[in-house]
């Protein structure tokens, strides 16, 4: 097992990256004390892993319940959140309850937000079962639900007490979901670490094939980079926004297509190409770097071009959707741009240039 | 103007207690910077004070919008919270938005929770217009909405950037609401400061009559006591719970009668008598102290006996409702008890004794 430490005053915690079950014996020292534990999962993941996790937790907590939410991004909303609240209240769960988020990004985000707001906050543990969640969403304390008018609009910064990444769960992922997770891995190179990008250029096929050593490196390095950024800017007042490379365009794609039609990582992949192209047109990076990123995204089996969201005014529709993205600030949409290999910057950009890039980067 | 300071590392702020408009000129130094401001109020309070506040804020922010929520505890729910989210999103409000909660406890709690969770957190300012909100709910960062299964079950600890108590707004309060606020004032003596209880025994009629000096002292002293407690235990892991003296019984009364039938302070008043009686039966305080508290509550025009919630098994119904109260922990309901004049303690108590006290203290 490998560990990554997230340093946050009073809210520090560890990410455990395990390729076998040996981590289980170490849990008693780190699990939050509570009188009851509730595993929150979705109907798909619960069938695969909930029984084993409940069994494991029974030696630590007198009660271990399970809540299985409907599966899918389209359920990341208030109604589903309320399934958790209703269940906790009906079972008289008090503040000494700990939640375990067993699943992908949707389960982690919604369970984290439930933990942040149930009785003004109970502890929770992330047990991410997808690559996307292990390398990104389960780490750093961003929790949220979607609103009909935008993704992740309602949420909180609320840190887990522990993150347990069991790499063996990645082997049951559909390949499309694994690829979607790789999109979030690929972002770390251009924004922060070219050595990692070079490593991925040699190893992306191994990662996609489920090679355990490759997955372990990939999850650990992603978590380390993210941990470094989050430790400097927990609540995204500045630097942390660089982790959203590709996400401004990506969120527009997800919202424009209808949540769940494109996977999150697919939107991010096409979005990174757009953001890199934008960076190039602003003179921040060479054309060759854009080509290099496109080649890597392509090898990962991810889309390198955005979908047409509106046959009449496609760029206009993208702009409309991006303006409501929460990273938009009065005065313009802020993009994460690459201002040199391994380095990112935040900038607003004139609409005319954004339109050009969208026109150049959509199917 | 008087100021009370709440000391919380990185989240410290001031409470301003003003009896005239002279405080307004000092605002520019302390208001959060933002590109737009939104005043959240209810339909009743908005008609009285929103225009003046909006006018005042227009010299600090380019945009000042108003959201008027329906008035009443029964609207302290998800649907009303969503009125705020919908409005903010439709107006493309981003993270550089500041919310002003103009109203009583319901407006403050719900606006604070909206601020805590809109785009994972935007700054907010409390502008409490009721005595209850000025002496208690607007101070200390507890925000929440109700759930059909319990009061304040969904919420967050989220501190305002400033609290502005304009005492002149108290003069437009219906007397029943003013009395309800006095209940929260009365709690501070028994739990923390007998000098304040003695002062109230001499001045409670002046407070109820709207004497400005008496109100100023009463708000300032209440805020000081609360600030001291909150600074030691922001997230209610222990000590802070003493501020809930009378509230465990009080919440059961509010829930059992249906939210809004008894005002919050009325439930707390009868609840304090029950909690004091319980303290006496446990041998923690003299009967004479209970009588002294009852006499003061009576002079404030507040109920000293609880309502019958169930003609069949009244005590059983109270117990059932209290068990779901969020201060209940596995193993029993924790009560705030008085273990000597000016001193409080948290204890679980056998059901049989709770039943005795309920039987003795209900109409």
Query: Quick one: A25 and A150 in the same domain?
Result: yes
- Contact state of B92 with A324 under an 8 Å Cβ cutoff: yes
Query: Quick one: B49 and B154 in the same domain?
Result: yes
CB B124 within 8 A of CB B115: yes
- Closest chain B residue to A326 measured between Cα atoms? B94
Q: Which residue, of A171, A191, A214, is where some domain finishes?
A: A171
Query: Quick one: A107 and A225 in the same domain?
Result: no
pLDDT reported for residue A255: 87
Query: Quick one: A276 and A139 in the same domain?
Result: no
Query: Quick one: A140 and A197 in the same domain?
Result: no
CB B101 within 8 A of CB B90: no
Kindly tell me if the per-residue pLDDT of A262 is higher than 90. yes
Over the range B312-350, which residues count as b (16 or more CB within 10 Å of their CB) and which as e?
eebbebbbebbebbbbbeeeebbbbbbeebbbbeebebe
Catalytic residue among B226, B280, B292, B317, which? B226
Q: State the CATH number of the domain containing residue A336.
A: 1.20.1090.10
pLDDT in tens, A190-232: 999 999 999 999 999 999 999 999 999 999 999 999 999 999 9
Q: Which residue, of B137, B172, B207, is where some domain finishes?
A: B172
Q: What is the pTM of this model?
A: 0.92
Query: Quick one: B265 and B277 in the same domain?
Result: yes
Q: Does residue B280 carry a catalytic annotation?
A: no
CB A221 within 8 A of CB A192: no
Instruction: Write out the H or E segment, with its range, that includes residue A12.
Output: none
Q: With an 8 Å Cβ cutoff, is B89 touching chain A?
A: yes
pLDDT in tens, A34-72: 999 999 999 999 999 999 999 999 999 999 999 999 998
Model ipTM value: 0.90
Query: Quick one: A105 and A179 in the same domain?
Result: no
Chain A residues whose beta carbon lies within 8 Å of the beta carbon of residue B89: 147, 149-150, 153, 324
Q: Which is higher by pLDDT, B259 or A351? A: A351
Q: With an 8 Å Cβ cutoff, is B94 touching chain A?
A: yes
pLDDT reported for residue A332: 79
Number of structural domains, chain A? 2
pLDDT in tens, B130-167: 999 999 999 999 999 999 888 899 999 999 999 999 99
Task: Give me the domain span that covers residue B49.
Answer: 2-172
Catalytic residue among A76, A264, A292, A317, which? A264
Query: Quick one: A139 and A234 in the same domain?
Result: no
Chain B residues whose beta carbon lies within 8 Å of the beta carbon of residue A89: 147, 149-150, 153, 324
Q: Does residue A244 carry a catalytic annotation?
A: yes
Query: Quick one: A137 and A120 in the same domain?
Result: yes
**How many residues make up chain A in this entry?**
363
d(CA B201, CA A59): 55
Query: Quick one: A182 and A68 in the same domain?
Result: no
Q: State the CATH number of the domain containing residue B125.
A: 3.40.50.1970
Q: Which residue, of A114, A147, A171, is where some domain finishes?
A: A171
Q: Does residue A292 carry a catalytic annotation?
A: no
Catalytic residue among B42, B73, B76, B142, which? B142
pLDDT in tens, B33-58: 999 999 999 999 999 999 999 999 99
Q: Does residue B326 carry a catalytic annotation?
A: no
Share of chain A above pLDDT 70, in %: 98
Average pLDDT, chain A: 95
Nearest to B121 among A95, A150, A235 (CB): A235
- Contact state of A156 with B117 under an 8 Å Cβ cutoff: yes
Q: Which two tokens stand for residue B139?
A: 């101070």
- Contact state of B116 with A156 under an 8 Å Cβ cutoff: yes
- Contact state of B154 with A35 under an 8 Å Cβ cutoff: no
Query: Quick one: A244 and A159 in the same domain?
Result: no
pLDDT reported for residue A330: 59
For residue A41, give every residue at least 6 positions away whose Cβ sits within 8 Å of its Cβ, in sequence order, or none. Answer: A49, A50, A66, A67, A68, A69, A101, A102, A103, A107
Query: Quick one: A77 and A207 in the same domain?
Result: no
């Amino acid at each position: 097992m490998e560990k990554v430490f997230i340093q946050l005053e009073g809210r520090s915690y560890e990410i455990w990256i395990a390729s076998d079950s040996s981590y289980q014996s170490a849990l008693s020292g780190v699990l939050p004390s509570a009188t009851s534990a509730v595993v929150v999962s979705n109907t798909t993941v619960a069938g695969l892993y909930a029984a084993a996790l409940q069994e494991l937790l029974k030696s630590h907590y007198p009660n271990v319940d399970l809540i299985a939410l409907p599966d899918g991004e389209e359920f990341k909303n208030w109604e589903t959140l309320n399934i958790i609240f209703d269940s906790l209240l009906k079972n008289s769960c008090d503040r000494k309850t700990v939640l375990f988020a067993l699943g992908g990004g949707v389960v982690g985000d919604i369970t984290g937000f439930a933990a942040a707001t149930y009785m003004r906050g109970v502890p929770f543990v992330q047990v991410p079962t997808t690559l996307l969640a292990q390398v990104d969403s389960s780490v750093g304390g961003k929790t949220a639900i979607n609103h009909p008018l935008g993704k992740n609009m309602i949420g909180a910064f609320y840190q887990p007490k522990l993150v347990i990444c069991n790499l063996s769960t990645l082997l049951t992922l559909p390949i499309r979901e694994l690829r979607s997770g790789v999109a979030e891995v690929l972002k770390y190179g251009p924004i922060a670490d070219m050595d990692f990008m070079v490593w991925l250029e040699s190893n992306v096929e191994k990662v996609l094939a489920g090679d355990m050593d490759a997955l372990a490196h990939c999850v650990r390095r992603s978590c380390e980079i993210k941990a470094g950024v989050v430790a400097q800017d927990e609540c995204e007042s500045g630097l942390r926004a660089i982790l959203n490379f590709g996400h401004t365009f990506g969120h527009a794609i997800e919202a424009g297509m209808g949540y769940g039609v494109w996977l999150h990582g697919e939107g991010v992949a096409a979005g990174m190409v757009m953001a890199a192209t934008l960076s190039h047109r602003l003179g921040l990076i060479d054309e060759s770097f854009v080509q290099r990123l496109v080649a890597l995204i392509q090898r990962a089996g991810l889309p390198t071009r955005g979908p047409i969201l509106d046959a009449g005014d496609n760029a206009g529709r993208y702009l409309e959707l991006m303006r409501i993205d929460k990273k938009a600030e009065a005065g313009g949409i802020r993009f994460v741009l690459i201002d040199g290999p391994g380095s990112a910057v935040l900038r607003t950009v004139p609409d005319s240039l954004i339109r050009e890039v969208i026109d150049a980067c959509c199917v």
